[in-house]
Amino acid sequence: MKRHTLGFLALFSLVAMLAPRPARADVAADLAFTAFSNVDINALARGQVLQARGGLIDFQRGITAQSLYIIDAPPATVQQKLTSWNPASHPELKVWMHLPLPPHPAVTDFAELQNLPNNSSVAYLETSTEKLDPSNPSLQVNKNEAQLISALRSSGSSGRALLVNAWSQILSGRCINFLSGNLSQESYAVSGGDIQPMVEIKSLLRSDVKVYQHYHPLLAETPLYNSTKAKPVNLYYESFDVEGGAALGTGAVYQSQAQNHRAAPVDLNNPTVEAPVDPVAPTQGPILSADIEYFVNYGIYSSIELEQISPVEVNGKIETLVWRNDMVSTSNVAYLHGTERLASGMIMLQDVKQAIDAFRSEFK
Quote the pLDDT of residue 193: 80
Nearest to 66 by CA among 291, 306, 288: 306
Quote the pLDDT of residue 37: 93
For the segment 104-115, the average pLDDT, to the nearest whole number, is 97
Quote the pLDDT of residue 88: 97
Q: How far is CA 118 from the centre of its chain?
A: 26
pTM for this predicted structure: 0.86
For 333-351, write each residue's pLDDT tens digit: 544 444 444 456 677 889 9
Nearest to 254 by CA among 235, 275, 271: 235
Residues 6+ away with beta carbon under 8 Å from 330: 9, 61, 63, 299, 300, 301
Across the chain, what does the average pLDDT equal? 85
Greater model confidence, 58 or 35: 35
Radius of gyration of the chain (CA): 20
* Band (54; pLDDT cuts 50, 70, 90): confident
Quote the pLDDT of residue 6: 56
Nearest to 329 by CA among 291, 294, 356: 294
Would you kindly state where each structural domain of the chain is located, as residue ranges?
7-361
Q: Which helix (H) or strand (E) holds 237?
A: strand 234-242
For 111-148, write each residue's pLDDT tens digit: 999 999 999 999 999 999 999 999 999 999 999 999 99
Greater model confidence, 7 or 147: 147
Q: Which helix (H) or strand (E) holds 304?
A: strand 302-314
Nearest to 186 by CA among 215, 223, 222: 223
The angle subtended at Cα 302 by Cα 298 and Cα 303, nearest 5°, is: 120
For the segment 64-71, the average pLDDT, to the nearest whole number, is 96
Quote the pLDDT of residue 333: 53
Quote the pLDDT of residue 15: 36
